[in-house]
Structure 1
Amino acid sequence: MLGLDIGSRAIYLVRYGDSGVLAYGQYPTPPDSVVEGAVVDTRRVGEAIQRLLRAMRLREREVVLTVGGAQVMTKWVVVPAMSLEELNAAAPLEAPRHLPPAKEPMLYRFWTPHADASSAPAEGAETTQMPARLVAVPEALVHSRLDAALRAGLNPIGIVPEPDAITYVLTLNHRPQSLLWRGKATAIVGIRYDYSEMTIARETALEFARTLRLGLNDAIETLQRAFGASHEEAEALMLQAQLDEEGTLHFSEELGLPPLSMLGFLHALTSEMRRLVDFQRSRYPEGSYWGLLDSFLLTGEGTALKGLANYCARSLGLTCISGNLFRGVRWAVPTEDLDPDAMNRYTAALGAVMSLKGARSPTDEERLTTAA
């Protein structure tokens, strides 16, 4: 099965099977073909996906897509107690009651915590309401992605919200039965080119999601203004540079470029991370373990900025590390020469296909067998 993530700058594709990750690849998104998360030129994007499929020599056609960005809304609401199947059948009527009036047609989906899709409240139970997580996505975002995939000859079988995808794959090691992770909350920040997805996961379950209109493009534009470079040139310079703990980007001596302060982008990012910590604390009684948020996992294209996790850790006084897809995921392809930070750009595509397949993390015994 394939996982597909159509971004504004690149298209990411992952093939996943019972033995783990079987193949991965990326292809540049055609210029101006994806705007505000919507695929506005499905023909060109479909052709780009076809070229990627040929380059990867893939014949599989079943694909799971992911959708993210500021237009994807996630909200916890209280709804009448019923089975998840009944709730989603009633979503077109129930969901709009919990959201501001929409300017365009929307698609809605409910999730209920720790509930089987077919389970319903026991007969005679006193509970008349229950919590549910509501996800609302503009139809245009979903349909344009489906159209592009169909034009590429693929068979879409599902769409997974990006917060769910990245949370699933990055919390595979957070086993609920483990004393280390029992009841623990972890923040995940997926730094994409156009936006950043901020989520809070309680053990392995998504508890909160928020999208920032701040992304790697904001950092790249700092280099563009400083050096008069194109977007591609500025990104290449940034990926070769090293960020220190003071927020200054240092380049190799061969380039002859002066150090460059990235504090504008970094302050905007870390201030939102602080807000998330304060928000989590405010939701629970003072001193409660449930309100503790002391660690961040960084993922997405932004982790390719060397030194970013160290800067965030020093600025916040919290644990900040880059997500590592090699730790919780089985790989059937060699990984020795791969940079874990660079591979974080595949997190959403991989999480989408794994969550739909119900994949699990490898056991310690399986890891040792693979290593051997």
Structure 2
Amino acid sequence: MRWPHLSRRQPCLGVAIDPTTVKAAVYRSRELITATVPVPPAGQHEPQALVAALSEAASRTGWRGRKAVTAVTGERVVIRYLRLPQMTAAELQAGMAYELENYLPTGARDMVVDWTILGNGSGPNSNQMDVLLAAAPRDQVTQLIDLFRGAGLELAAVDLVPLALCRSLAGEIAAATAILDIGDQWSHLVLARPDRPLFSRVLAFKREELARPGIAGNNPLADLTQEIRRSLDFYRSQGEAGFNPEGLLLTGEGTVIEGLANFCQEELGVPALIGRPGLPGRPVEPELAIAAGLALREIGI
């Protein structure tokens, strides 16, 4: 089973779902129209409550179509950034049928798997290409399909958070950049260049936890920046020793944490700024970065 995919340049409703809110965005009249609807406390355990929140978010954007795009995330979602010899898409398709077991920790059984060519290498890697491989549990994807169907929507694609973030912040990624999205359930770290994501990790830090004052000398923000440093060290150890981000872009609900940008800048030694996701000159709120990136997917922006 391949992930649902729709040819580009056909606007879709972008929807990001987390434990507390449903965020929706749609590109219309050269603007991003957005809506945020809180999820009732029972929403995560009562499908109809989540369906109602999703329907309300779609309605508030004025979306009258059926096509929607969402993203999967979490510890069970596997993302691999591969560097392979250059080949055609057809050759990659044939090769992946035999290589999946080598790239996925539990194999492809009970997983929905897809991949995309990010681009060709340059310099000493000019005869290679970068490929993103992703796999999500089949039950997780099926639940999303059923959820959207219950709200009268049809999933045109299931995307990845790192791709949505890079798309949403494309106008601000002028050089090697790190992106940190702090959500209510997960945080996402993405290392990127202007033309592609290079590496990403799901970090087990929530906004609520990071906003709490440190206890007995522990500082949650210090733990977060330490994980960012470890991620940078790991990526460099994989043959990318020259990767030095020129800045850190912050998005997500966690951008409201007092002193977040200043703390990250001091700890990491690079400029840290609140990201301005969306369209150049017409940004949306930082917490809408993922939804905006999903909405921009199908129109090729």
TM-score by length of 1: 0.68
Correspondences of 1:119-134 after superposition (within 5 Å) = 131-134=130-133
1:175-231 Cα deviation digits (max 9, x unpaired): xxxxxx4xx3111111111111111111230111111111213235x37xxxxxxxx
Which residue of structure 2 lines up, in the alignment, with residue 350 of structure 1?
Answer: 292
Pick aligned residue for 1:201 from 192, 195, 198: 192
Q: Identical aligned pairs, as a percentage?
A: 27
Q: How does 1:183-262 map to 2 (within 5 A)?
A: 184-219=175-210, 222=212
Give the CA deviation at 1:282. 3.5
SS at match of 1:314: helix
Pick from 76, 81, 86: which aligns with 2:81? Answer: 76
Question: What runs of 5+ residues in structure 2 fail to find an aligned partner?
Answer: 1-11, 121-126
What residue number does 1:110 align with? 115
Q: Does 1:167 align with 2:166?
A: yes
Task: Pick the aligned partner of 1:29 from 39, 47, 60.
Answer: 39
Q: Kindly tell me: are residues 218 and 173 of structure 1, through their superposed partners in 2, closer, same or farther at Cα, counting changes over 3 Å?
A: closer
Which of 6, 25, 44 pairs up with 2:17? 6
Cα 1:88–1:44, aligned 2, differ >3 Å: closer, same or farther?
farther
CA 1:262/1:351 → structure 2, altered by over 3 Å: closer, same or farther?
farther
Equivalent pair of 1:197/1:210 in contact (CA under 8 Å):
yes
Aligned length: 284
Q: What CA distance in whole angstroms lies between the structure 1 residues aligned with 2:225 and 2:217?
A: 12
Cα 1:166–1:285 change in 2 (3 A) is closer
Match of 1:98 among 94, 97, 103: 103
Query: Residues 63 and 85 of structure 1: is their aligned pair in 2 closer, same or farther, counting only changes over 3 Å?
Result: farther
- Distance of aligned partners of 1:187 and 1:348 in 2 relative to their CA distance in 1, 3 Å threshold: same
- Whether 1:19 and 2:25 are equivalent positions in the alignment is no
Which residue of the partner structure matches residue 257 of structure 1? Answer: none
* The one of 254, 258, 278 aligned to 2:233: 278
Residue by residue over 1:109-132, the C-alpha shift from the partner in whole angstroms, topping out at 9 and shown as x without a partner, is 1122326xxxxxxxxxxx7x8552
Distance 1:261 1:53, change over 3 A: farther
**Counterpart residue type for residue 164 of structure 1:** L
Aligned residue identity for 1:210: R
Q: Against the structure 1 CA distance between its residues 113 and 31, is the aligned structure 2 distance closer, same or farther, given a 3 Å change threshold?
A: same
Give distance in 2, aligned partners of 1:213 and 1:348: 18
Query: C-alpha separation between the residues in 1 aligned to 2:36 and 2:94?
Result: 36
**Residue 265 of structure 1 aligns to which amino acid in structure 2?**
P
Distance 1:262 1:12 in 2: 36
TM-score scaled to structure 2, two decimals? Answer: 0.82
Gaps of 5+ in 1: 35-39, 116-126, 175-180, 224-246, 248-259, 360-372
When residues 302 and 159 of structure 1 are mapped into structure 2, their CA distance, relative to the original with a 3 A threshold, is same
Structure 2 partner of 1:291: 243
Distance change >3 Å, CA 88–CA 357, structure 1 → 2: farther
Cα distance in 1 for residues equivalent to 2:281 and 2:67? 20
Partners of 2:240 and 2:144 in 1: CA distance: 43
Query: Would you say the 8 A contact 2:82–2:132 is kept in 1?
Result: yes
CA RMSD of aligned residues (A): 2.9
- Ranked by relative contact order (alpha carbons within 8 Å, sequence separation 6 or more), the top structure is 2
SS of aligned partner of 1:114: strand
Question: Judging changes above 3 Å, is the alpha-carbon distance between structure 1 residues 106 and 285 closer, same or farther for their aligned structure 2 residues?
Answer: closer
- The structure with the largest strand share of the pair is 2
Task: Please report how far the alpha carbon of residue 81 of structure 1 lies from its aligned counterpart in structure 2 after TM superposition.
Answer: 5.6
Query: Deviations for 1:87-107, whole angstroms, at most 9, x for unmatched residues?
Result: 347656532321212597111
